[in-house]
Structure 1
Amino acid sequence: MAEQTTLESLLEMGFERNRAEKAVAKTGNQGIEQAMDWLMEHENDPDIDEPYVPPVGNTLGGAADSQSTSEQPTLADTAEGIEMGDREIEESQRKPMTEEEKKEQVKRLEELMRVKQAERRERERAEELEREKQRRKQGQELQQVRQKMQDDEMKKLADLRRREKLEDKMARQRVKEKIARDREERAQKFGSGGATSTAASTQPAEPSPSSPTSHGPPPTKKEYDESRIQVRLLDGSTITTVFKAQEPLAAVRVYIQMNGNTPEGQDFTLLSPYPRHVYTEMDMEKPLKELGLVPSAVLVVTKK
């Protein structure tokens, strides 16, 4: 019969009997090509090498009502019987295959199997290429997202630095303007004082009454409103200027940054040599008078 021919062909091609029987049964004995397709699709099944067990419904001799029903043939049973009889007649009239024909059929089936295996490998290769393309596409999209996030972060940092530089520039400008105003005020003050002293010197000195026996109140301590600061720089040179007694120590630091030879961006520390005292960031906000730097002081610049 056809089923036996397909099974024998699969066995001659080298398939295990369990696999061959399953392939013939699962494909409904539709031919060698369908059986080979099923074997290639299910070759990795965990139960592929287990013996084939036909379904329970295919066994003969069911319940009593089944027997009573089968005793009365229907039209479908009659047609099936006729078809089976024709198939048996056709099989009985078929000539047995010779060894050469069997070899030729096995060769043709093996070639067919190689073609199908090549087609399957090509299909798997195309699917793998498509998966690789999808992975690369997803990787590129992820890289683009990361690059955008990095660009945004760099842009934020650049904006922050620009704002900091602008604020620092404005602060320096304010200090410059303050120093210029202070210089102008000192120039006007000392200029008018000099004119007054000159006018006083041209007037004749009047004799002052001397009273050796009179004693006035004790002299009061003089209040200084300015401080003369001398700064010794890193290279040993010095610069000197005058500040208001109420100006903070930070004004001295800004003056050093603008007029000294300290590289831009380099931080430094101020200290008093005698007695030795290192000024902190908190001291920068205190007035010179409060720090004891009035009426004059010497400060030393050191690397921080």
Structure 2
Amino acid sequence: MPSDKDTLLSMGFDIARVEWALKATSNRGLQPAMDHILENQDKPIPDLTDVSALSSASATNNTRGPAAMDEDDEDTEALKAVYGSAGTADGSGMNVDVEAKIKPLTEEEKKQKLEELRQKMAEKRSKKAEQDALDNKANELLRRKAARDMGSIKEELRAKEAIKEAEQKRKDKIADAKAKAAVKAQIEADRRERAEKAAREKALRQGNVQQEATPSTTPSSNPVTSTSGAASSKEYKETRLQIRLASGGQPYTTTLPSDSTLRQVAEFLAGQTLAVDVDTVSFAQHFPRKQFNQNDFTKTLKELGLTPSAVLIAS
């Protein structure tokens, strides 16, 4: 009986590839060896003394599933029908007695059998290519979904950053308005202080002239009046105000010179909150009940009777 090697050689396979296939498949039969030759026909023949290369190929063949083994069995039966029975395998994996002599194949039969095997391998490759295409499509869908999710995360971060930036601009605007109001209030305070100083110096000069013009023997009530007037003018130089918004919220407390105008109070409040406009705001006092409008903005706190302290409602 011809051996598997002789049978493969008679089919026209190269001897080196036949020996490689038999060693790689551990001489498990004609069909596994032929499958190995067809699957690796485009690969270079390794060194047959390299155990690792052979064992890797053998492991690949041994891990095929039941379906693949069934196909091998069918192919083996087909080969038996052409070449004769190859017998069965014992526990050692070696072929045993032959049931019939192998019938030699003609060249036409060899070509036909090889063509059938090549078609079967082509079908396997086609199925594998289709599966690879499906896997690539699934991977592409996952990649696109991940890209969309990343885009959504970036868009959300940009929106949060825009909100944060707008909030910071609003805070900067409020801080800038407060700083401007504080500078303006300081300028007004300095101006009033200079005016009061000039008025005191002028009154002192006029008082000296009047004292020189008055006879010393005549009892005069003017100095007493002047003194009482001066004492009266010194009273309540500052006014403590508590300002509440009609819309509610925390009240604002400040202390201003009693000569400050109601407009300066409005400017102070506008510097504390952007909800107040100096040109449209109005004030009211609940006790005693009074209503102040824009015409009262030029009057001082002393003239409006708000000294030494008052509670105003801004609206």
> In which range does the TM-score fall when normalised by the shorter chain?
0.3 to 0.5
TM-score normalised according to structure 2 size:
0.38
TM-score normalised according to structure 1 size:
0.39
